[in-house]
Amino acid sequence: MGDLPTGWGGGPVEPPDLDEVARAAARISGLVLRTPLMPLQSYDATADIYLKPEVLQPVGSFKIRGVGNWALSLTDDQSRPGIATTSAGNTAIALGYMGVCSECRPDHMSPRACTSPSGWRSRPTGSTWSR
């Protein structure tokens, strides 16, 4: 994985080690739900299949995990100007939620053609929505 580009400049992204995963879990505990694994009930399933219903998260998706870890790992100087993303969906909603939780000003840009309700859902968090 070390030779894959990030797509946004900078060096390749290395996978986290177990200590980094544990720090991230501690950082976001209390802000995200520990979602259960639920067995898929199917008449023709030939294998045990389990679902993880991330729709139960406060923002309705798993995006709160990554956005939350990132936002809460920022220093005060880094977060003071606010936090931002380019998103037409769940990342924007998660960013708005984290803005409220971490008292940072959230801002996100979405494509002009975006008609997604996700942009509208981030407004109650105080997120600035630009197109």
Structure confidence by residue, pLDDT tens digits, 43-85: 777 778 899 999 999 889 999 999 999 999 999 898 888 888 8
Q: Which pLDDT score, from 0 to 100, does residue 51 have?
A: 92
Give the global pTM.
0.74
CB 118 within 8 A of CB 109: no
Whole-Å CA distances, 88 to 53, 60, 102, 108, 118: 21, 15, 22, 9, 7
Tell me if residue 77 falls in helix, strand or coil. Answer: helix
Whole-Å CA distances, 8 to 12, 76, 77, 89: 10, 24, 22, 20
* Distance, CA of 94 to CA of 121 (rounded, Å): 10
Taking 70 as the threshold, does the pLDDT of residue 27 lie above it?
yes
Taking 70 as the threshold, does the pLDDT of residue 12 lie above it?
yes
